[in-house]
Amino acid sequence: MTMTLASGKARRFWKTMTGRSSSGPTISLVWSLPAVFFMLAFFLFPLADNMIRSVGADGGWSFAPYKRLFFDPYYLEVLGVTLGFSFAVTLACLLVGYPVAYFMVRHAGRLYGLCIFFLVAPLLTSIIMRTFGWRVLLARQGFANAFMMEFGLIERPLNLLNGPVIALLATVQVLVPFMVLAITSSLQGVDRRLEESARLLGAGRASTFFRITAPLTLDGIGTGFILVFMLANGSFVTLLLLGGGSLQTFPLLIYQQINSTRDFVLAGAMSNVLLMSAVICLVIQARLLRRRGTKP
């Protein structure tokens, strides 16, 4: 009812302004203009400006920044660390997230809603707060060191922060809900009768899982894998606060290029490389969804 009145007012407004009667598609186009303007002003134009800035040099065109990124051993190593760290985070999220998703779908029962709440609630808090939580727990005067000293496990506080392992663990903690949610939706679509038939035919629990359940949830695994990999690829705050300089990735290098050397051209080229990796991930995800028969 409200939409009908709004549509009628829009038609009268359009007729008053233009002197012409309006049709349905025209009204839809008018209502979409704010969203189109927002996307153009705050997404497409900045991306285009960044793209042009990365290849523009002295009034001409130059791909020297990209040549540095793909042929300089230092930047190649940083690119390898970025992709390797993202892959390690994604694999850890899969190993942690699949059992959690399986428990939620098959065994949680009435606690399923509570599990979803505990899974989604951290996503509603700032990533900076979650990262500082790790610092509170693992600092020299934090809970972990105090606990180990209290029980005589160590004589002096250990430096548990500022390393690649803690950066990886914290990033997994931030991103694992996305993997769990992707696998959960896929597990819910698995026909339990197929598993029961396999068990009746003599298959064990492990064989049933690896030959029936896991293959039927490959779409969820693929979607979660791509989503987490894409987010880990652009992870910045956790590495900055917990990495302690032990890991050098493209997002951290972009931050340094902008704040220290002021090399916006190279920073723009690096951000475009990250953008292309995200686009490739989205294309792969779209192909997976199309194979499953779902519109991306």
Give the sign of the dihedral formed by CA 74, CA 77, CA 81, CA 83.
positive
Q: Identify the CA nearest to 144 among candidates 166, 127, 175.
A: 166
**Largest separation between any pair of C-alpha atoms in the chain:** 85
Give DSSP secondary structure letters for 243-285.
STTS---HHHHHHHIIIII--HHHHHHHHHHHHHHHHHHHHHH
As beta bridge partners, residue 39 has none
State the Cα–Cα distance between residues 171 and 82, nearest whole angstrom. 13
CB 22 within 8 A of CB 14: yes
CA distances from 205 to 10, 107, 186 (A): 61, 15, 19
State the Cα–Cα distance between residues 89 and 229, nearest whole angstrom. 7
CA distances from 278 to 5, 125, 228 (A): 42, 24, 11
CA distances from 236 to 96, 199, 249 (A): 22, 46, 9
pLDDT at 184: 93
pLDDT at 293: 58
Which one-letter DSSP state was computed for residue 159?
-
pLDDT at 13: 58
State the Cα–Cα distance between residues 258 and 280, nearest whole angstrom. 26
Q: Identify the CA nearest to 266 among candidates 258, 278, 277, 275.
A: 258
From first to last of its 296 residues, the chain has per-residue pLDDT tens of: 444 555 555 566 556 655 555 555 566 777 888 888 888 888 888 888 888 888 876 667 778 888 888 888 998 999 899 999 999 999 999 999 999 999 999 888 888 888 888 888 888 888 888 888 888 888 888 888 888 888 888 888 888 788 888 889 989 998 999 999 999 988 988 888 888 888 888 888 889 889 988 888 888 898 899 889 989 988 888 888 887 777 888 888 888 888 887 888 888 888 888 888 888 888 887 777 676 655 55
Amino acid at 251: P
